[in-house]
Amino acid sequence: MNIYVGNLSRQAGENEVRALFAEFGEVKSVKIIKDNESGEPRGFAFVEMPDGDAGNQAIRELNAKEFQNRRLKVNEAKPKSTGPRVYNSFSSPYGYKNRFEKY
């Protein structure tokens, strides 16, 4: 089970997050997301737990819990969308796109 951990303190390290979730079961991996340019943590992470029941218990227990003076937001991670990207004239680096045309 992949778990999203939001509103994470920027000083939180991988070991602290792993220890927090290890209370509920085995933690397969912890990935703290960092900014591409500066390398600074962005304030959220993904925790992978192989046991779904332990993951659900961790979500119930840790959501809205104080951790390093921040109230965590913990829920099941949504899968990354793999569909086609939609471009419009505001977000596209290629300029104007007709909104009625299918890509």
Residue 9 domain flag: yes
| Overall pTM > 0.85 | no
Give strand pairing partners of 2.
48
- 18-74 residue pLDDT tens: 999 999 999 999 999 999 889 999 999 999 999 999 999 999 999 999 999 999 999
Q: What domain range is 41 assigned to?
A: 2-76
Residue 23 sits in a domain whose CATH number is: 3.30.70.330
Q: Judge whether 13 lies within some domain.
A: yes
Alpha carbons 22 and 50: distance in angstroms, whole number: 12
In whole angstroms, give the CA distance from residue 21 to residue 38: 27
Structure tokens at 38: 């500066």
What was the pLDDT predicted at 72? 96
Instruction: Please list the residues that pair with 35 across neighbouring strands.
Output: none
The confidence score (pLDDT) of residue 79 equals 83
